[in-house]
Amino acid sequence: MELKPTQDIAAALGKQKKNDQIMIGFALETTNEEDNAKEKCARKNFDFIVLNSLNDLNAGFQYDTNKITIIDKSGEKSPYELKDKKLVAKDIVDYLVGKV
């Protein structure tokens, strides 16, 4: 099977973003995590990005827990402790509500 690259939907939406819209992105990184997340945030015109690391113990796909860092477009970081993924989702929503 031959695969073809598709359009980067998030980047395309970022180009069309209006001043009254907020765009959030997610980054799953294994190396240069913060630098890669910051670059992705800027390139795709996100207001903030949720960084997930595969290097954190008991976090990721095979666990019910996760540990995130939210990085805003100015580079300000908000790290969160390891917790249940439902609580991680609440942290993301609470962060968003605090920015609106």
pLDDT tens-place string over residues 44-99: 999 999 999 888 777 778 889 999 999 999 999 999 999 999 999 999 999 999 87
Q: Per the structure, how many domains does the chain have? A: 1
Asked, for residue 72, whether it belongs to a domain, the answer is yes
Asked, for residue 12, whether it belongs to a domain, the answer is no
pLDDT digits (tens, 9 = 90+) for 19-36: 999 999 999 988 899 999
Per the structure, the complete domain to which residue 90 belongs is given by 21-99
Distance CA(45)–CA(94), nearest Å, equals 21
| Residue 12: how many other CB atoms lie within 10 Å | 10
Check pLDDT > 80 for residue 100.
Answer: no
Domain with residue 82: its CATH number is 3.40.50.10300
Helices (H), the chain: 9-16, 33-43, 85-99
Asked, for residue 53, whether it belongs to a domain, the answer is yes
Query: Are the C-beta atoms of residues 50 and 25 closer than 8 Å to each other?
Result: yes
Asked, for residue 62, whether it belongs to a domain, the answer is yes
Sign of CA dihedral 61, 95, 45, 68: negative
Asked, for residue 64, whether it belongs to a domain, the answer is yes
Asked, for residue 7, whether it belongs to a domain, the answer is no
Distance CA(11)–CA(42), nearest Å, equals 10
Per-residue pLDDT at 62: 84
